[in-house]
Structure 1
Amino acid sequence: MSGNTLGKLFCVTNFGESHGPAIGAVVDGCPPGLALDAADIQLELDRRRPGTSRHVTQRQEADQVEILSGVYQGLTTGTPIGLLIRNTDARSKDYSNIADTFRPGHADYTYSRKFGERDPRGGGRSSARLTAPTVAGGAIAKKWLEQTHGIKIRGYMSQLGPIAIPFESWDEVGNNPFYAPNAQIVPELEAYMDQLRRDGDSIGARIEVVAEHPPAGWGEPLYDRLDADIAHAMMGLNAVKGVSIGAGFGCVTQRGSEHGDEITPGGFLSNHAGGVLGGISSGQAITVSVAVKPTSSIRIERQSINRAGEPVQVQTLGRHDPCVGIRATPIVEALLAIVLMDHALRHRAQCG
């Protein structure tokens, strides 16, 4: 299966299955001399891991990362960094009833049509479990970007289903399981999720991520545009069905006199472009928004077919996130970090 590597000079290759012995990543292209240990990566993995609240899957995985290579005496060596995360709480029997059927909205049908064979346990390769290695690789990128260029990357949830979450403070994001930037709305979010779980249903979410203080000049003017690579990475995240940068779809109703960011000797007067102009970073904050669809694995019976093409009713048991967007914030941050570090190295290679 191809398409498992993100990046050109800073490359993160993801491997494993949801219910296999382990998952992991090979991170190639990290410059030597970066101070790095497992704790740097574990910090980000702990933000993403399952079982941290009643609102997410209760699969209990410690997500303890092991650094297998590429680090010596606390510093990166410039060689591939091997990262391993062992699976310890898989319950494959929960998926025995769907081995020969296709869950609506899931990748079961398309995987079967493409490969002929598929691993039904926990979704196999299509499981959101495979976002953990992405977060691990992104942790390295986040540290390098902050130390080398002073770039800070952080995200938050701006909408849960029908509930819009007004931004109040970055300080609130780490204090609740939703990564919501508003403490007052958390009880409403909790009540909504509790009812959703009782209904056996799921819901989508919207996540915002911001890279602050990037330099101007990263990216390319055509096929390898910075915004195009960001969108490509975000669409590689399970359940993401929409990506917008800056004003995004809001630009449809804006006039040119409003959307075009005016420039003064003191800088830009607005940031509708989201920090990218003509595929190249402008030096403003890079702002990205992603739409995460409702979880496809739900307890409500739905119509589908089996391998023989016969009609069946499908009910998905097991442990699932009723809203995968709740744990998506650190993943979106990681993806943006990987793309930005890759472009930083590409810019250095081309322009010195």
Structure 2
Amino acid sequence: MNTFGNNYRLTTFGESHGTAIGGIIDGCPAGIEADTAFIQSELNRRRPGQSALTTSRNEPDTVEFLSGLYEGRTTGTPIAFLVRNRDQHSKDYDAMRNLYRPSHADYTYQMKYGIRDPRGGGRSSARTTIAQCVGGAVAKLALQPEGITVRAYTSQVGRIRLDGTYRDYDLTLTETNAVRCPDARKAAEMEALIRRVKEQGDTVGGVITGVITGVPVGLGEPVFGKLHAALGAAMLGINAVKGFDYGDGFDAPLYLGSEHNDTFCNDHGRIATRTNYSGGIQGGISNGEDIYFRVAFKAVATLLREQQTVDRDGRETIINAKGRHDPCVLPRAVPLVEAMAAMTMLDYLLLMKSR
């Protein structure tokens, strides 16, 4: 399945070492200002080689729009785009052509399709998420006139984590450091950890927190199209994601019902809640409060050290991975979490408007 969404739809194509990554956006409203500089800036946030914390693969990741835009605005027709691959080192994978890399998709792709592209993981590579970032950037532009804002930040790397909630931080500081954490002291600790892990040929995971503000009441389609379920599906479709929760999530069992209920109040004529343990969603429908959620990422599976594995014939052997890889996916995954959330919100907003 290579299409995401129902009303706002993104179909993607391409492989890590192929000619290009691209996509077609269908269902985008007409007349949206197509700020191509903003779209490119979103791609720049996820591009490789942007800091010492990321892979050294040097890709410009310049987006080319082929259709669907005219005089700086969307036309309501399909928006086709390409991002060409420029810096492939496919020979790095020659020795791994017949080996299964631990915790990658090599084995499952081979068993399912009977063939796979071993160069950088082919279609299963996180490089293909370029297309999601373009789709998400266009969705952000469509959400702007509606007053809906999507932000994300790194809230944990390894065992180093931020205290409190998103309300305790100035999220405008997220882009002031390479790890994309709004707390400068914690960011320095996270960066130091990533550097140490990288020197050891190892990798480390963490958590990204997402925050959506300006959401109207009523987004979500119970019982099987609940808004939080859609956000969860979007996040779990991202490479290396192992978990998702929203509101107080897995902390909810710590509270009694009398402690956990979000009681209603009249906030200057607007019905609101005094607390927001629900994370802005009740009964699968947005209630007008901020939506906040967490996305857990595992450590990157490619280690620059020897590991045990098997070859295609089942013979046990040793793999010594080559190539250029991130020691921690978190810094470059922040814009991707935002992109998937933005596309989900626009998809559900368009559905509500169609009623």
Same fold (TM over 0.5): yes
- Range that drifts further, 157-166 or 47-56: 157-166
Distance in 2 of aligned mates of 1:188 and 1:9: 42
* 2:62 paired residue number: 64
The runs of 5 or more residues in structure 2 that have no matched partner are none
| Aligned counterpart, 2:325 | 320
Partner of 1:182: 183
Equivalent-residue separation in structure 1 for 2:259 and 2:351 (angstroms): 33
Give the letter aligned to residue 246 of structure 2. Answer: I
Structure 2 counterpart SS, 1:39: helix
Structure 2 residue identity aligned to 1:341: L
Q: Give a deviation string over 1:193-212, Cα, whole Å, max 9, x none.
A: 22111110001010001011
Counterparts of residues 242-261 of structure 1 (less than 5 Å)? 242-261=243-262
For 1:223 and 1:268, locate their aligned partners in 2 and report how far apart those are by CA, in whole Å. Answer: 25
* Displacement after TM superposition at 1:174 (Å): 0.7
CA distance in 2 between partners of 1:168 and 1:223 (Å): 34
SS at match of 1:202: coil
d(CA) in 2 for partners of 1:130 and 1:77?
26
Paired letter, 2:159? P
Cα distance, 1:130 vs structure 2: 0.8
Residue 298 of structure 2, aligned match among 287, 293, 300: 293
Whole-angstrom CA distance in 2 between matches of 1:255 and 1:50: 46
Does the 8 Å contact 1:38/1:67 carry over to 2? no
- The percent of aligned pairs where both chains have the same amino acid is 46
Structure 1 residue 74: deviation in Å?
1.1
User: Could you give the per-residue CA deviations for residues 308-333 of structure 1, whole angstroms, max 9, x where no partner exists?
Assistant: 01101112111000111221110000
Aligned to 2:136: 138
Aligned residues of 2:180 and 2:187 also touching (Cα < 8 A): no
The answer on whether the counterparts of 1:70 and 1:79 sit within 8 Å (CA) in structure 2 is yes
> Are 1:171 and 2:172 an aligned pair?
yes
| Aligned-CA RMSD value | 1.0
Match of 1:261, as an amino acid?
Answer: D
What are the within-5 Å matches in structure 2 for residues 191-202 of structure 1?
Answer: 191-202=192-203
Give 1:303 shift.
1.3
Residues 20, 82 of structure 2: 8 Å contact kept = yes
> 1:199-245: CA deviations, max 9, x gaps?
10001010001011100001111111111111011000000000001
Which secondary structure does the structure 1 equivalent of 2:354 belong to? helix
Per the normalisation by structure 2, the TM-score is 0.96
- Ranges of 4+ aligned residues in structure 1 off by more than 6 Å: none
Give the match for residue 19 of structure 2: 21
Give the match for residue 334 of structure 1. Answer: 339
In 1: Cα distance, 2:53 partner to 2:333 partner: 13
Q: Once the two structures are superposed, what CA deviation does each residue of 1:101-135 show, in whole Å capped at 9, x if it has no partner?
A: 00111111111111110001011111110111101
SS of 2:64 mapped into structure 1: strand
Contact persistence 2:160–2:186 (CA under 8 A): no
Residue 348 of structure 1: which of 320, 328, 353 is its match? Answer: 353
Q: CA deviation at 1:37?
A: 4.0
TM-superposed CA distance for 1:38, in Å, is 2.4
Unmatched runs of 5 consecutive residues or more in structure 1? none
